[in-house]
Amino acid sequence: PGWIGRTVPDVIERVEVLVSSPSRNYVTLRLTTRDGIVGLGDATVNGRELAVASYLRDHVGPLLIGRDPGRIEDTWQYLYRGVYWRRGPIGMAAIGAVDIALWDILGKRAGQPLYALLGGRVRDRLATYRHAFGWDLPALLEQVDAHREAGFENIRVQAGVPGLDVVYGVTKDNTVYEPAGRAAAPAEEIWDTEAYLRSMPGVIAGVREHVGDAVGLLHDAHHRLTPIQAARLGKALEPVGMYWLEDVTPAEDPEALRLVRQHTTTPLAIGEVFNTIWDCQQLIENRLIDYIRVAVVHAGGISHLRKIFALAEVHGVRAAPHGPSDVSPISLAASIHLGVAVHNFAIQEYMGYPDLVHEAFPHAWHVADGHLQPGDEPGLGVTLNDELHHADDYEPAYLPVARRRDGTLTDW
């Protein structure tokens, strides 16, 4: 009776955690409220899917039942501060999934696309970059040309390395690239940084020569270099005028990037493996990077990304979230809504998905004229095609591990 004449808050009534494999593995959170509103969240941690699924099912889900879905920040704080052992990829991906799903519910309740609730558009369209790779320069240029013909203005370029059999971001036969292999244990690859440093600047310079000045070129070193090697690469690429050089050194060492920064004007990007604002605080406050790449799923959802981006805004660092095929189209939707509403958002990675993934997660976001658009459906604008989410399709898949030629384990 106390509620008569007032809006009765809705409550979360059902929590479902779906581990499925529409061609590759994803963990999806589906929250349903008493009023029948459905919110979707992505909780995929590539290669550790069942850990986050259990965290959600066994520890987080039961705490959500009966909660007001409108208390998004309070729920975030409850799931973060309410755990003595906090942070880390598994816990933060679980919080991220809940947060994304609650914003989705809020948008649907309001009948508004998420970007409208985040302050509305600050831009008409969102820049994106696609991946091009080729074992050698001619093969790489074929993919670069295909992306340009499709209207994309920014392209990540990865190439093979003479003397190596396997290289991150490339396939030897130039077919579809998917680093996670379905097997009981990770594949082992041999890595040789010196060979890479000898060949890569020339390949990237070759791409620049081919495309002219108008295309943004990006390259991902995937955390494999020492600071001085990274500095050498950055300097070698200065004449190319890169959009950015990504993940040059292992991400847990911010001081490494200070050394790199002292030697090169090539813009630096990092952050896809960060989980919280505290992982990037030093990098942002000391202006050691130009782009922060935190992913909405892995860094605590929309609520936490907004705080990271606000900190970055104060320090002239721009947002450029991770967008590989191992964050689901739900995460990508959240990122795109943020992307049109956040002033210091620069560019959204869009690796693309196999067709079955698009079918499994029908989505309002889309590509138009080489840019991303969130669409105008309420909330995130993503639904689930239940017929393509079967729990028994799940098979473990692992990212590779890398060893140097002498057998020492190194960063993949």
Residue 25 touches ligand KDG, criterion: CB under 6 A: no
Q: Which residues bind Mg ion (CB under 5 A)?
A: 220
Q: Is 179 in the site for ligand KDG (CB under 6 A)?
A: yes
The answer to whether 49 contacts ligand KDG (rule: CB under 6 A) is no
Sign of the torsion formed by the C-alpha atoms of 277, 282, 285 and 287: negative
- Please state the closest distance from residue 246 (CB atom) to ligand KDG, in A: 6
The yes-or-no answer on residue 147 being catalytic is no
Distance CA 68, CA 34 (A): 10
Q: Quick one: the chain helix, strand, coil %, rounded to 5?
A: 40, 20, 45
Three-class DSSP category at 26: strand
Smallest distance from ligand KDG to CB 45, Å: 9
Q: Which is nearer to ligand KDG, 115 or 350 (CB)?
A: 350
- x/- track of binding to ligand KDG for residues 52-91 (CB under 6 A): ----------------------------------------
Task: Give yes or no for a contact between 245 and 231, defined as CB atoms under 8 angstroms apart.
Answer: no
263 is catalytic: no
Alpha-carbon dihedral angle through residues 24, 27, 31, 36, given to the nearest 10 degrees: 10
- Based on the shown chain and the rule CB under 6 A, indicate whether residue 399 belongs to the binding site for ligand KDG: yes
CB 331 within 8 A of CB 360: no
Residues 6+ apart with CB under 8 A from 89: 45, 48, 273, 275, 298
Binding of ligand KDG at residue 388 (CB under 6 A)? Answer: no
Question: Quick one: what does residue 179 bind among Mg ion, ligand KDG, none, with the CB cut-off 5 to 8 Å set by partner type?
Answer: ligand KDG
CB–CB of 336/126 below 8 Å? yes
Q: Which of 234, 324, 378, 379 binds ligand KDG (CB under 6 A)?
A: 324
Q: Which two tokens stand for residue 127?
A: 């820049």
Distance separating alpha carbons of residues 159 and 170, to the nearest angstrom: 6
Residue 320: which of 284, 369, 367 has the closest Cα?
284
Residue 326 touches which member of ligand KDG, Mg ion, none, C-beta under 5-8 Å by kind = ligand KDG
Specify the residue, 153 or 220, whose C-beta has the smaller distance to Mg ion.
220
Among Mg ion, ligand KDG, none, partner that 75 touches (CB below 5 to 8 angstroms by kind):
none
> Taking CB under 6 A as the rule, does residue 187 contact ligand KDG?
no
Q: Is 51 in the site for ligand KDG (CB under 6 A)?
A: no
Per-residue contact track with ligand KDG, 239 to 258, x per CB under 6 A?
--------------------
**Selected range binding ligand KDG among 186-194, 226-234, 321-329, 332-340, rule: CB under 6 A:** 321-329
Q: How far is CA 134 from CA 159, 177, 192, 395, in A?
A: 5, 10, 18, 29
DSSP category for residue 296: T
Of 104 and 326, the one with the shorter C-beta distance to ligand KDG is 326
Q: Is 99 in the site for ligand KDG (CB under 6 A)?
A: no
**Angle of helix 254-263 versus helix 227-236 axis, rounded to 10:** 40
Q: Please identify, using beta-carbon distances, which residue of 44 and 75 lies nearer to Mg ion.
A: 44
If DSSP codes are grouped into helix, strand and coil, which group holds residue 113?
A: strand
Contact between 338 and 303 under an 8 Å Cβ cutoff? The reply is no
H helix or E strand, kind and range, residue 201: helix 193-211
**According to CB under 6 A, which one of 49, 272, 279, 377 is a site residue for ligand KDG?**
272
Residue 46 binding target from ligand KDG, Mg ion, none, CB below 5 to 8 Å by type: ligand KDG
Q: Choose, by CB under 6 A, the member of 192, 220, 279, 377 that binds ligand KDG.
A: 220
Tell me which H or E stretch contains 52.
Answer: helix 49-54
State yes or no: residue 377 binds ligand KDG (CB under 6 A): no
Beta carbon nearer to ligand KDG, 61 or 329 = 329
Q: Which is nearer to ligand KDG, 116 or 268 (CB)?
A: 268
Catalytic residue among 131, 222, 304, 337: 222
Catalytic residue among 168, 243, 350, 353: 168
Phi, psi of 6 (to 5 degrees): -115, 165
153 vs 349, beta carbon nearer ligand KDG:
349
CB of 145 to ligand KDG, least distance (A): 21
Interhelix angle 227-236/193-211, rounded to 10 degrees, is: 20
Q: Backbone dihedral region of 354: left (phi > 0), alpha (psi from -120 to 50 degrees) or beta?
A: beta
Nearer to ligand KDG, 61 or 271 (CB): 271
Three-point CA angle 191, 409, 412, nearest 5°: 55
Binding positions for ligand KDG, rule: CB under 6 A: 46, 179, 220, 222, 272, 322, 324, 326, 349, 351, 399
Catalytic residues: 168, 222
